[in-house]
Amino acid sequence: MESERRLWNCLLFAVLLLLLAFVSGGCAADTYTVCSSGCDHTSIQAAIDAAKAGDSIIVRDGTYTENVEVNVSNITLRSEHGAAFTTVVAALNTRDVFLVTANSVTITGFTVRNATLMSGIYLEFVHHCTVSGNNASGNYHGIDLYSSSNNNLAGNIANANNYHGIFLYDSSGNTLTDNIASNNDYGIFLYDSSTNNLTGNIALN
């Protein structure tokens, strides 16, 4: 009787281990690709809509015309070869190119333009996001943070006729490092914001 109980306990333990392995495998992070053909998705928004927390999206070289809402937490969105090769143009200039409404999002390596009445990259009520290596040109705000804290802006270029190159409104505790804001009406503009750390940035013309 005791040996049967031990056998059943061992079998139950083995089944539990298999279930845990299955669940863990099902939750593994995925990587999606975006391009005009031959990729997982043909638009950035479609890839975001399919993504879950922890996933990565790689956007291949090209020009994409869309307004993108990033509403999935803890995802990485990056171009394959950097901002010089991957451009996202606002389909509607009355909407942001990238609207980020989820925490812990990373956006890196894009040229964003044509949001002439809105922002190239707009972070709204979010925290712990990273925006790096992007080029925001020809928007109303190049990169814009609203009521957002503990975000990192690094190595971005905001130039060529944005009204504000980088604009922080009611945003605190953010870090801005090695960004260049040139040829805008305002280079880096902080309004009603405190305890932000600005290091090594350039604002000119």
Q: Which residues of the chain have pLDDT under 70?
A: 1-27
Q: What was the pLDDT predicted at 14?
A: 54
CA distance 62 to 199: 32
Q: What was the pLDDT predicted at 7?
A: 52
Q: What was the pLDDT predicted at 6?
A: 58
Model confidence, pTM = 0.87
Q: What was the pLDDT predicted at 194?
A: 96
- Of 118, 125, 133, 184, nearest to 151 (Cα)? 125
- CB-CB neighbours of 110 under 10 Å: 29
Which residue pairs from 23-29 have beta carbons closer than 8 angstroms and sit at least 24 positions apart in sequence? 29/54, 29/55, 29/56
Q: What is the pLDDT of residues 1-47, one digit of tens each?
A: 555 655 555 555 555 555 554 444 456 899 999 999 999 999 999 99
Q: What was the pLDDT predicted at 160?
A: 80
CA–CA distances in Å: residue 83 to residues 60, 86, 158, 174, 191: 11, 5, 12, 23, 28
